[in-house]
Amino acid sequence: MALIDRYLPDPHFRERHRLAVRAPSRTVLRAARAYRTETDPFFRAMIGLRELPMRVMQRLSQPSSVDRRPFGLQDFTLLDSDDHEIVYGLAGRFWRSDFDLTPVEGGAGFLALDDPGVARLALNFAVRTEGRGICELSTETRIVCADADARAKLRLYWHLIRPVSGLIRRRTLASIRRVSENEARMALP
């Protein structure tokens, strides 16, 4: 059973991407753990666009306010990991301009969270050895909403962001592949 199945076995929304990597699975998983969204200029641009209304409203209401850092993987909580998979969690009202994030205290806290109007999101990176020095790297995003109102709001948001989200996920996998394959080449005798 995949680790992500422990956290969101029956999602309301889901997206999955995968690709082949010519590197050992432990190298690939290490690169996935080290990946940071802020290294991708496309991600930074899309998050900047997504957060623009919130930042404008902050400046208008509190001109001297300090900008918070842009949203990224650092906002997620590590829920679980093993030798083949890493699972991160996030909870909030993602359709709101500020994401309205709800603090999550580890895997147990993620599972226990059932606040009205909140959506829980699990994101994983998983590797599976294919043989001949190749493994499959995948990422899956799963979302469960606490109630029908949250599900209706997320449905509209999901349809708007899913194409960009998919492109970001594919870029993330490609970046992890580049790092992994470079590291594997450097390790050759």
Q: What is the pLDDT of residues 84-127, one digit of tens each?
A: 999 999 999 999 888 899 999 999 999 999 999 999 999 999 99
pLDDT in tens, 139-183: 999 999 999 999 999 999 999 999 999 999 999 999 999 999 999
Domains, in order of start, for the chain? 4-187 (3.30.530)
Contact 74, 68 (CB under 8 A): no
pLDDT at 189 over 80: no
Residue 142 forms beta bridges with which residues? 14, 122
Give 30-73 pLDDT, tens digit per residue. 999 999 988 888 877 777 667 766 666 666 676 555 556 666 67
pTM of the model: 0.87
